[in-house]
Amino acid sequence: MTEFTELYKKLSNSELLTIIVEAEKYNPIAVETAKTEIESRKLTEQELNLAKSQIIAKENAKRREIEKRKQREKRIKKSASTFFDTINPIQNGIQTPEKIIRLTILIFGAIAIYRLYDEWGMFQILLHEGISEWDFSMAEYFFPIILLPIGVFLFWKRRMIGWILLSIFLAYSALNTIILFFMNLDRQSSGISTLEEIFPILSPAVYLMTLLFFGSFFYLICKQDVRAIFKVPKRAIRLTIVLTVFINLFFVYVILD
């Protein structure tokens, strides 16, 4: 009697036959024990055929599962490839407008993800306190944070509303940079280190670079060949600027006052 004898008495016919068929995967003693157990059961031809059919069914199920896994992996790889092809601006054969769109998606998509991650703690605090505790200044604070990911996603989908939302974000950010520059133009150090860490005094060069960054992308997506992809008329540029100015004025003079 081997160490496998009692254990193998509890196995089904198909399990024993599997051990015998796949002998290279098992200990030689285990294989011999399986053969002995099968012989001792004196199976009829019908019982043997049933056990064999069960083995074949298991193998077919295993192959189908492997094939499904491969198909899932292919779909994931294809989706990832399609996504990166969609946003990758460094490709041969694509037109300049498409490169501008992809570069915009890549940069501002990364910014949107970072800002959501960076402000997640603030979101949790506000949700914990409840909406009733919010004041209107929170709208000004979260407006660009919420607007950007929505705008980038719809811009990626080549929707007109995506172009409008992203252009509002860019124009808003550029105009807000100018407003902040003039608000802090004559600001003096408070002498309180903690306050200075939270609200540091920035050099004019920082404001200038920020303005150029947002202004440049606003200019790029307002180009005619880019707008044509989103079917955006030229008058939408003026409407975007007017709306952005109104939003900024609303936040500055209504909410913050």
Q: pLDDT for 51-106, tens place per residue?
A: 788 888 888 888 888 888 888 888 887 776 666 665 555 555 556 888 889 889 99
Q: What are phi and psi of 90, to 5 degrees?
A: -100, 75
Tell me if 169 sits within 8 A of 177, measured CB to CB: no
**Residue 120 reports pLDDT greater than 60:** yes
Residue for token pair 């505790």: 133
- CA dihedral 220→226→231→237, nearest 10 degrees, is 20
Q: What is the pLDDT of residues 135-188, one digit of tens each?
A: 556 667 778 888 999 999 999 999 999 999 999 999 999 988 888 888 777 666
Tell me if 64 sits within 8 A of 30, measured CB to CB: no
Q: Would you kindly state where each structural domain of the chain is located, as residue ranges?
A: 5-79, 92-255
Q: What is the pLDDT of residues 223-255, one digit of tens each?
A: 999 999 999 998 888 888 888 888 877 776 655
